[in-house]
Amino acid sequence: MAKRKIKVHKSIDKANMKQYEINGIKRSDEYIYFCSVCKKITCLDRSYSSKGHRLICDRCAMIHFPKIDDDTHYRHIDYQALLSWCTEDNQNQSEFADAKQTESNQSTKGD
């Protein structure tokens, strides 16, 4: 499968992650998040994300991750592709944070 190129609005993505860090899933039905693709207001119950990262509303998920059932020809979301897309960047961020922490520890040991 080809890698998807979906423009993520970084400032919205950052705000959603902060909001998730504060609230977690306690307020999942409240419209306090924004889709990082279309910028429309949404809630956790009507969106997909990895702890707020790359939060995508159900409408955009259907547009960008469609899957057609072979038997019924019913269109639904390709959850496997969606999950992969939501989390692909988190791995890179975790590795970067670990490397930055290691670098910071090494510089303080040298002082």
Domain count, the chain: 1
pLDDT in tens, 74-93: 889 999 999 999 988 765 55
What integer pLDDT is reported at residue 100 of this predicted model? 45
Contact 65, 81 (CB under 8 A): yes
Give, in degrees to the nearest 5, the angle at Cα 63 between 53 and 34: 35
Is residue 110 a part of any domain in this protein?
Answer: no
H/E element holding 8?
Answer: none
Q: What is the pLDDT of residue 90?
A: 61
Return d(Cα 92, Cα 21) in angstroms, integer: 19
Cβ 66 vs Cβ 78: under 8 Å: yes
Q: Which amino acid is at 32?
A: I
What is the pLDDT, as a whole number, of residue 102? 47
Instruction: Give the whole-angstrom CA distance, residue 10 versus residue 32.
Output: 17
Residue 1 within a domain = no
Residue 72 forms part of a structural domain: yes
- State which residues of the chain have pLDDT below 70: 1-4, 90-111
Where in the sequence is the domain holding 37, given as residue range(s)?
10-99
**Are the CB atoms for 49 and 16 separated by under 8 Å?**
yes
User: Residue 102 CA to chain centroid, in angstroms?
Assistant: 26
| Residue 25, domain member (yes or no) | yes
Return the pLDDT at 54.
Answer: 95
